[in-house]
C-alpha cells in the first residue's frame, strides 16, 4: 500500500496537467466534451491523492522508519493518534494541502455539473494549477515517501509540544480555511478571464467563503488554546509569525465577507471585492510560505527550506501577479453604476470597516516581516514584540468595535439624523451608564475601559435589533419564541451575523482582561504557603513521573481562593528523552472571573519547587466567545427549512371559473 501511495503521487502530475490543458482548450474552442474530460481528470486526481494519503498513513502506523519522513515525526512509543497526524512534518503537511485542494476541486466540479458552465473550465484550470504545484513540490523536493539515508530501528518522534489533543485538529482546520479560500479565488479569476463579471461568481461561492472564513477563525482560536495550555507562558497570543500568518488572510477574508454585501445590495465595489478575494488567497499561500521556508523564527515553524522556500515564494508572487493582470485588464468592464450616496449609511460603515481590517492587516504584515528585512539590510535581526502590535492595533480595534455596533442600525443609501437619534439613544445611554460603572469599580486604564464600555454599546445595538424584529412579528399574532425562530429563519444571514458579532464582543471582554494580568515567581519548600491576590497556594510534595517516552516531575499544590478551598493542582515538568527537549504542563483553576495558572519551572535537590503563577482576568470569556462564534457561523451556514404553506379555507374555483378569470 505504501508503494502504491508513492506511485499514485507521481501519477497525479500528468492527470492534473491534463485537466488544466483540457479545460483551457475546451473553454477557448467552445468544446464542452473537452471540459467534461477535464472534470473526469479532476476526480481521478482526487482519487490518486487519496491513495497517496492512505499510503502515507499506513507507513506511519506500520513504523516504516526506512522512510525519512516517518523517521522524522514518529517513533514506536508514540501514541497511535499522533502517529496518524501526518501534518506534524513538512512533507506530510504538503500532502494534506494537495489532498484538500483536490477534494474541494472535485466537490466544486460535482456541484456545478449543470451550472456556471462558462466559469467552470477556468475554475478547473486555477484549482488544478494549485494541485500541480503542490504535487510537483512533493514529487521533486519534499517527497514524503523518500527513503531514509540510514535505516534505524526507531524514529526521532514528533516534536513534544505538538503532542497535544488540540494539535490533532488545529492544523487540519487551519488548512481547510487556507485551501477553502482557493475556491472563491478561482471563481473570481474565472470571472475575470471569461468576462462573466456579474454576481454569479460570488453568489456561487458565498457558502464556500463562509466555510473557509469560519474554519480559519476556529483554527486561530484553537491555536490560542494550544499555546495557553502547552507553551507555559500564561498567554494565548504572542504575535508570533506563525500565528500572524493565519491572522492576515482571516483579516482580509473578514473584510471581503462584509464588503461583498454592498455589491450584492447596491452593485458597488466590484473591483474592491475582486481585489480582496485575490489578496485573501495570496495571503493564504504567503502564510504557508512563511511557516515552511524558515525565513521567520517561531516555536512551531519548519526549518530553513533553502531553494524550496524560493520556489514557493515565486509561486506566491506568480499567483498574485496573474490575478492582478486579469483584474487590471477588466477594469473598464467593472465600473459600478451606483456611487456611495453618503458616508452616513450602511455602505459607508461597511467601507470604513474594510479600511480598519486592512489597516490591522498592514500592521501585522509590517511587524511580521520587519525582522526579516532588517536582517537582510543590516545583518542583524531586530525583533518586534507584542507591545508594538498592541500600541498600533489598539486604536483600530476600538474603532472596529464601535463600527460593529453602529453598522447594523444605519440604513442603506443614506441615514437621517432623526433615525440615528432614535436608533442609538437607548444603546448609547446604557453604554454611558456602564462606562461610569466600569470606571467606578476601578478600571481606570483607557483600553480596557473603552473595550468594556463599547462591548456594552454593541450588545445594546444587537439586543435592540432583535427586540425590534420580535416585536414586529408579535404584532402579527406570533408568540415570543415563534417570533424569534421566524426571525432567524426568514433573515438567517442578518440575525446569524449578529450572533457572530456577539461572539466578537465576548472575545473583546477577554482581551480587556489582559491589561490586569499578574505574574509572580517564587521558590517554595514542602509545606510552605504563598499568598497572592487573594489566593493561597500550599506546596505539599513533588513526585517523579516515569514514562517510556519522557521523564519528569509533578508538583502537588493545594489552592484556596479568598480562604475557600478550591482543590489540588498538579503542574508538571517533562523532559522528552529522545528529543532531549523539556516541556511544561501548567495547572489551571478557572472561573468566569479569572484563571489561576501555575507552572512548575524547576525542582531543587532539597525538593523545593520553583513556581510561576499567572492570574489572567476574564480570559475565559475569550473561549466562551469562541463557542458563540461556532454557533453563529453554524446558524449562517445551516439551511433553514422553508415554511409550510397554510391550508386555504376558500373553496377551489372550478376550471371554467379559472379560465374566465385568466381571460379577464
Q: What is the C-alpha to C-alpha distance for residues 19 and 28, in angstroms, rounded to an integer? A: 14
Short-list 443, 432, 360, CA closest to 394: 360
Q: In the prediction, which pLDDT does 298 show? A: 59
Q: What is the C-alpha to C-alpha distance for residues 31 and 36, in angstroms, rounded to an integer? A: 9
pLDDT in tens, 619-656: 999 999 999 999 888 888 877 655 554 444 444 444 44
Q: Identify the residue with better confidence: 155 or 19.
A: 19
Q: In the prediction, which pLDDT does 126 show? A: 96
Strands 587-590 and 518-524: unpaired
Q: What is the C-alpha to C-alpha distance for residues 576 and 586, in angstroms, rounded to an integer? A: 16
Contact 371, 350 (CB under 8 A): no
> What is the mean pLDDT of the segment spanning 527-543?
93
Which grid cell is 605?
535537590
Q: Report angle CA 602, 603, 608 to the nearest 5 degrees.
A: 120
Lowest mean pLDDT segment, chosen from 299-303, 320-324, 626-630: 299-303
Q: In the prediction, which pLDDT does 2 show? A: 82
For residue 188, pLDDT over 70 is answered with yes
Name the residue ranges covered by the structural domains of the chain.
Answer: 1-158, 178-415, 423-515+623-637, 517-620
218's CB contacts (< 8 A; 6+ apart) are 173, 177, 626, 629, 630
pLDDT in tens, 126-174: 999 999 999 998 988 888 998 888 878 888 888 888 888 888 888 899 9
For residue 538, pLDDT over 70 is answered with yes
> What is the mean pLDDT of the segment spanning 162-190?
92
Q: Mean pLDDT, the chain, as a whole number?
A: 87
Residue 481 — very low, low, confident or very high, per pLDDT cuts 50/70/90?
Answer: confident
pLDDT in tens, 34-71: 999 999 999 999 999 999 999 999 999 988 888 988 88
> What is the mean pLDDT of the segment spanning 472-490?
84
Q: Using N-to-C axis directions, what is the helix angle for 120-140 and 32-61, rounded to 10°?
A: 30
Q: Where are the alpha helices (DSSP H) in 168-269?
A: 170-180, 182-194, 200-204, 206-226, 241-266
Q: In the prediction, which pLDDT does 629 show? A: 92
Contact 280, 256 (CB under 8 A): yes
Lowest mean pLDDT segment, chosen from 112-116, 428-432, 643-647, 660-664: 660-664
Short-list 53, 265, 341, 300, CA closest to 174: 300
Provide the 3-class DSSP secondary structure of residue 3: helix
Contact 611, 538 (CB under 8 A): no
Q: What is the C-alpha to C-alpha distance for residues 552 and 607, in angstroms, rounded to an integer? A: 13
Q: What is the C-alpha to C-alpha distance for residues 662 and 352, in angstroms, rounded to an integer? A: 52
Q: What string of DSSP letters covers 240-303?
A: -HHHHHHHHHHHHHHHHHHHHHHHHHHS--HHHHHHHHHHHHHHHHHHHHHHHHSSS--TTSPP
Short-list 58, 89, 68, 63, CA closest to 153: 63
Q: What is the C-alpha to C-alpha distance for residues 74 and 83, in angstroms, rounded to an integer? A: 6
Q: In the prediction, which pLDDT does 444 show? A: 85
pTM as predicted = 0.89
Amino acid at each position: 500500500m505504501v508503494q502504491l501511495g508513492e506511485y499514485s503521487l507521481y501519477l497525479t502530475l500528468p492527470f492534473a496537467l491534463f485537466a488544466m490543458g483540457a479545460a483551457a482548450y475546451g473553454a477557448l474552442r467552445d468544446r464542452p466534451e473537452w471540459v467534461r474530460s477535464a472534470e473526469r481528470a479532476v476526480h481521478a486526481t482526487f482519487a490518486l491523492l487519496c491513495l497517496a494519503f492512505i499510503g502515507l498513513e499506513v507507513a506511519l502506523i506500520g513504523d516504516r522508519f526506512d522512510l525519512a519522513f516517518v523517521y522524522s515525526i514518529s517513533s514506536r512509543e508514540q501514541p497511535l493518534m499522533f502517529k496518524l497526524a501526518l501534518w506534524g512534518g513538512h512533507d506530510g503537511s504538503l500532502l494534506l494541502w494537495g489532498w484538500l485542494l483536490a477534494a474541494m476541486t472535485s466537490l466544486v466540479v460535482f456541484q456545478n455539473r449543470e451550472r456556471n458552465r462558462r466559469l467552470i473550465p477556468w475554475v478547473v484550470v486555477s484549482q488544478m494549477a494549485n494541485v500541480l504545484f503542490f504535487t510537483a513540490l512533493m514529487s521533486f523536493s519534499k517527497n514524503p515517501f523518500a527513503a531514509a539515508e540510514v535505516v534505524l530501528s526507531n524514529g526521532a518522534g514528533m516534536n513534544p509540544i505538538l503532542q497535544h489533543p488540540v494539535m490533532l485538529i488545529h492544523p487540519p482546520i487551519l488548512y481547510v480555511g487556507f485551501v477553502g479560500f482557493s475556491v472563491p479565488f478561482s471563481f473570481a479569476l474565472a470571472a475575470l478571464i471569461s468576462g462573466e463579471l456579474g454576481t454569479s461568481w460570488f453568489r456561487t461561492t458565498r457558502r464556500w467563503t463562509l466555510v473557509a472564513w469560519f474554519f480559519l477563525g476556529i483554527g486561530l482560536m484553537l491555536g490560542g488554546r494550544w499555546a495557553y495550555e502547552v507553551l507555559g507562558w500564561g498567554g494565548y497570543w504572542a504575535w508570533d509569525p506563525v500565528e500572524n500568518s493565519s491572522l492576515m488572510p482571516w483579516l482580509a477574508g473578514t473584510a471581503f465577507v462584509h464588503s461583498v454585501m454592498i455589491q450584492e445590495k447596491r452593485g458597488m465595489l466590484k473591483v474592491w471585492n475582486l481585489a480582496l478575494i485575490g489578496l485573501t488567497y495570496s495571503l493564504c499561500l504567503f502564510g504557508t510560505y512563511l511557516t515552511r521556508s524558515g525565513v521567520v523564527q517561531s516555536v512551531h515553524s519548519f526549518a530553513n527550506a533553502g531553494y524550496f522556500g524560493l520556489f514557493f515564494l515565486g509561486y506566491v508572487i506568480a499567483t498574485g501577479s496573474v490575478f492582478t493582470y486579469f483584474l487590471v485588464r477588466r477594469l473598464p468592464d467593472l465600473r459600478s453604476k451606483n456611487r456611495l450616496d453618503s458616508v452616513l449609511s450602511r455602505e459607508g460603515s461597511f467601507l470604513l470597516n474594510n479600511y480598519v481590517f486592512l489597516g490591522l492587516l498592514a500592521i501585522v504584515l509590517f511587524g511580521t516581516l520587519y525582522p526579516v528585512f532588517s536582517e537582510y539590510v543590516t545583518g542583524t535581526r531586530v525583533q518586534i514584540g507584542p507591545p508594538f502590535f498592541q500600541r498600533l492595533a489598539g486604536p483600530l480595534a476600538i474603532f472596529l468595535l464601535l463600527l460593529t455596533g453602529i453598522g447594523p442600525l444605519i440604513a442603506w443609501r443614506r441615514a437621517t439624523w432623526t433615525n440615528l437619534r432614535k436608533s442609538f439613544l437607548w444603546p448609547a445611554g446604557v453604554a454611558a451608564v456602564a462606562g461610569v460603572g466600569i470606571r467606578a469599580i476601578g478600571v481606570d486604564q483607557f483600553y480596557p475601559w473603552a473595550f468594556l464600555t463599547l462591548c456594552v454599546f454593541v450588545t445594546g445595538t444587537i439586543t435592540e435589533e432583535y427586540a425590534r424584529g420580535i416585536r414586529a412579528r408579535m404584532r402579527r399574532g406570533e408568540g415570543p419564541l415563534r417570533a424569534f425562530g421566524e426571525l432567524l429563519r426568514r433573515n438567517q444571514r442578518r440575525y446569524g451575523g449578529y450572533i457572530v458579532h456577539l461572539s466578537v464582543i465576548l472575545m473583546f471582554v477577554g482581551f480587556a482582561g489582559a491589561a490586569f494580568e499578574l505574574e509572580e515567581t517564587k521558590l517554595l519548600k514542602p509545606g510552605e504557603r504563598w499568598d497572592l491576590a487573594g489566593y493561597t497556594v500550599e506546596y505539599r510534595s513533588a513526585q517523579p513521573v516515569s514514562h517510556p517516552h519522557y521523564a519528569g516531575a509533578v508538583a502537588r499544590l493545594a489552592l484556596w481562593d479568598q480562604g475557600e478551598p478550591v482543590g489540588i493542582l498538579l503542574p508538571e515538568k517533562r523532559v522528552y528523552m529522545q528529543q532531549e527537549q523539556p516541556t511544561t504542563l501548567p495547572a489551571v483553576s478557572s472561573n468566569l472571573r479569572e484563571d489561576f495558572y501555575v507552572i512548575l519551572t524547576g525542582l531543587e535537590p532539597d525538593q523545593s519547587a520553583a513556581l510561576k503563577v499567572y492570574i489572567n482576568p476574564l480570559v475565559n470569556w475569550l473561549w466562551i466567545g469562541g463557542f458563540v462564534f461556532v454557533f453563529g457561523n453554524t446558524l449562517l451556514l445551516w439551511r433553514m427549512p422553508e415554511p409550510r404553506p397554510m391550508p386555504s379555507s376558500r373553496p377551489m374555483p372550478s376550471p371554467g371559473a379559472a379560465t374566465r378569470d385568466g381571460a379577464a
